[in-house]
Structure 1
């Protein structure tokens, strides 16, 4: 999914919410789904990686070209993340 398609899908979800055809929880699920699809279907050299561990990094997803870069990005986002593993997010 490209950026324009993702933005269109979010815009459609917002319009549905504004029309009263879905709840805030429904809107949040829809937007989260759009963002996850965008991140995992990202076109180009970047790939989505997820941190798995016991600290604040657990569950964090970042885009990077490789695992070491993903680890560095996660560390820069959460400071001292504690022990964690980085795995590619499957599509």
Structure 2
């Protein structure tokens, strides 16, 4: 199973989760796990998603999520699970 890690960070506001989840559903990207928290007005979310069911190229998904983040005023990044694991290995 090919997985990706999405991080969403920014000032809290109504609709962040809804907009990100709508994008994922429209592109057949299933959420496997999700964690979100708000600390002193700052929103932080991490999601693990399945990538293989989308018909879009990984790079295009990354770009579209980044653009969605700009539209709603947060920073959204998608990394392939393998890259994420190597970058965060101690």
- Larger strand fraction of residues: 2
TM score, norm. by length of structure 2: 0.33
TM score, norm. by length of structure 1: 0.33
Higher relative contact order (CA 8 A, sep 6+): 2
Q: Decide which structure has the larger Cα Rg and report it.
A: 1
